[in-house]
Amino acid sequence: MKKLQIKPGDKVDLRDFDPADTRLAPADKDECIAKMEKMTDKLGKLQELLFAEHKHKLLVVLQGMDTSGKDGTVRHVMRGVSPQSVRAVSFKKPTQVELEHDFLWRVHSNVPAAGEIVIFNRSHYEDVLVVRVHELVPQKVWRKRYHQINDFEQMLVETGTTILKFFLHISKDEQRQRLQARLDDPTKRWKFQHGDIEERKLWNDYKKAYQDALEKTSTEWAPWTVVPADKKWFRNFVVAKTVVEAMENFDMKYPQPDLKSEKIE
């Protein structure tokens, strides 16, 4: 999956990445889905070990255009884990209290503790994406945030957090189909908002904002992975495999408490 990573210093043009590319899949769709099931089971065991050892921290960041599948990724990849030590956090419009602090204040309070996995469904990157596209703050303000984000993430890594950042990359045509599917399916219409159409008109602006964010914040300590996301099964496979491999590299072991003096009557 490292072939999908943005290396620090790389120039990023999303036209170089095919959202429908599945060439890195180890097999066809059906076999890949079967492998995904096994990885889900493995992830559940790794998550239990993570909580038991209570040493490592894992932060998973999901970003992408509307309908790119952030919710679906969380639902499919994390379905085998216990809610005991896993949290999904979605950052909405800042409250008045949050606006009275720096933009990372509300983010820092939600990062993982020892033994915990936290998934950011949208994240601090909204402050160089939506904020930029809608001109919510001056350019001189959001431009400084790339450096501030890099420093923030480096501090997290230096204090024991592993950060996995995924950009779920879909095509504009696939987005159109997914928005239409929401309208056509009575069980999905609740997901559709009129604002989705207005945001879609800003596709090119968001594309440029994402390119800059990927380019300026893919670091040695927290690189971005561009996930081809037109095919949901491949999207889920890439994220699951990357998470499992990262956790396997923790080389975790179950604690061995001293039970010599314990008796069960």
Give the CATH number for residue 114: 3.40.50.300
Query: Number of folded domains in the chain?
Result: 1
Q: Is the pLDDT of residue 178 over 90?
A: yes
Query: At which residue do the structure tokens 């950009």 appear?
Result: 167
CA distances from 34 to 28, 37, 39, 58, 129 (A): 10, 5, 9, 25, 36
The answer to the question of residue 229 being in a domain is yes
Q: Tell me the per-residue pLDDT of 37-51, one tens digit each, with 9 for 90 and over.
A: 999 999 999 999 999
Q: b/e string for 24-63 if b means 16 or more Cβ within 10 A?
A: ebeeeeeebeebbeebbebbeebbbbbbebeebbbbbbbb
Residue 263 lies in a domain: no
Within a domain: residue 50? yes
Look at residue 10 and tell me if it is in a domain.
yes
Q: Which of 91-100, 208-217, 243-252 has the lowest mean pLDDT?
A: 91-100
Cα 177 to its chain centre, rounded Å, is: 23
pLDDT, tens only, 153-177: 999 999 999 999 999 999 999 999 9
In a domain, 24, yes or no: yes
The 8 Å CB, 24+ separation contacts for 109-114 are 111/57, 111/59, 111/156, 111/161, 112/57, 112/58, 112/59, 112/87, 112/161, 113/57, 114/54, 114/55, 114/56, 114/57, 114/160
Classify 221 as helix, strand or coil.
Answer: coil
Could you tell me if residue 73 is inside a domain?
yes
Q: CB within 8 A of 150, min separation 6: which ones?
A: 216, 217, 219, 222
Phi/psi for 90 (5° steps) reads -115, 125
191 in any annotated domain: yes
Instruction: Tell me which residue range forms the domain holding 196.
Output: 2-248
Q: Is residue 39 part of a domain?
A: yes
Reported pTM: 0.94
